[in-house]
Every structure is written in structure tokens, then in C-alpha cells.
């Protein structure tokens, strides 16, 4: 199955000059979703995982499925103010400003083997901030995996010390 056939390009979204990679056609097709999940699991090459961390919000789709498939816990990383318990916060730079991510301070235990998942690796700022949160809690990142990578944005360079895998590269 060619997963790229289920990725729709949306021109000038969310702003002029951006070509948005829309994964909703893939999510709407149960066969494509199942195949994608199998391929994401295969990227792990049998690594043991205790927790799967998903980045808000499109990363949640496959992160929860991965957690179920791997018999691991799911941990959400969210924008500030969205989690109800005590959190750790990690700021990161945007193209034109700053943002931050948060994780519950008890979500990962020291030594937990963690898979970080998001739908897209673009500039890498969000993924790098998520890695810092995981590591600050004592988690060992087994892999950062992505449904797709926008190569010309060079996000993988911000994850130099990580095992980074992507199913599709554009």
C-alpha cells in the first residue's frame, strides 16, 4: 500500500506559501490506518517500549494506537494550561515567536523506555521540546517516529542525539 496516496496537499494553509500535509484521508480509511500502524510499529524493530508519548494534537491519533499495539501506556504532551495536574513546561521557538509544551510531572518514571510520536516532523522545535520534557522526567527515548517528514525544513537536525524514523519523506 502506498500511504502517500492518502496524504492530501492543501495549498496556502494555515497561511500563504505553506503546503499543508493533511492526514485526514488516511485516518478516514481503516485499511490505510491499519497498514500505517503496522509500518510505524515495524520502525521500532522489536524495541521494548513502556510509554508512548504523543504531541498535541494530530500526534495523538497514532500515538494512542501505538500504545495499545505495544501494550504500553500513553502520555499526552499538550500546549500550556490543557493538562489538569502538576506539569513540567518546556518553551520552544516558533518561526515568529515562542510557544511551550507541558507534560504531567508523574507521567514518566526514571528509566521508562519511551517512544515519541508525532504526525509530522517539520522544523523540529516541537519534537525537541518534547524530548527535553521526557528526558527531564528520566525517560529513555527509544525512538522519535513520525508519519511524515518535511525534509527541506531540516527538523531532524534538531534531534541529532535521537533515533529518528519517518514513514514518508517529502
Query: What positions carry a catalytic annotation?
Result: 58, 95
Q: Show the DSSP H helices in the chain as ranges.
A: 24-28, 30-42, 59-70, 125-136
* Exposure letters 83-121 (e unless 16+ CB within 10 A, then b): beeebbebebeeeeeeeebbbbeebbeeebbbbbbbbbb
**C-alpha distances out from residue 87 to 7, 115, 140, 158, 170, Å:** 34, 20, 19, 24, 34
End-to-end CA distance of the chain, in Å? 17
All residues at 6 or more sequence positions from 40 whose CB lies less than 8 Å from its CB, including other chains: 62, 66, 117, 145, 147, 167
Alpha carbon distance 162, 170 (integer Å): 20
Amino acid at each position: 500500500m502506498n500511504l502517500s496516496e492518502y496524504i492530501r496537499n492543501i495549498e496556502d494553509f494555515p497561511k500563504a506559501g505553506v503546503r499543508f500535509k493533511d492526514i485526514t484521508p488516511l485516518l478516514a480509511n481503516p485499511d490505510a490506518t491499519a497498514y500505517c500502524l503496522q509500518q510505524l510499529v515495524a520502525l521500532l524493530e522489536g524495541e521494548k517500549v513502556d510509554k508512548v508519548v504523543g504531541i498535541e494534537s494530530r500526534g495523538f491519533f497514532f500515538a494512542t494506537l501505538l500504545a495499545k499495539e505495544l501494550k504500553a501506556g500513553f502520555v499526552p504532551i499538550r500546549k500550556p494550561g490543557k493538562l489538569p495536574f502538576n506539569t513540567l513546561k518546556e518553551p520552544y521557538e516558533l518561526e515568529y515567536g515562542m510557544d511551550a509544551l507541558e507534560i504531567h510531572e508523574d507521567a514518566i518514571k526514571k528509566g521508562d523506555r519511551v517512544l515519541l510520536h508525532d504526525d509530522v516532523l517539520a522544523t523540529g522545535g516541537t519534537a525537541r521540546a518534547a524530548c527535553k520534557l521526557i528526558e527531564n522526567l528520566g525517560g529513555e527515548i527509544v525512538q522519535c517516529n513520525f508519519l511524515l517528514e518535511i525534509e527541506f525544513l531540516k527538523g531532524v537536525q534538531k534531534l541529532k542525539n535521537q533515533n529518528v524514523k519517518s514513514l514518508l519523506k517529502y
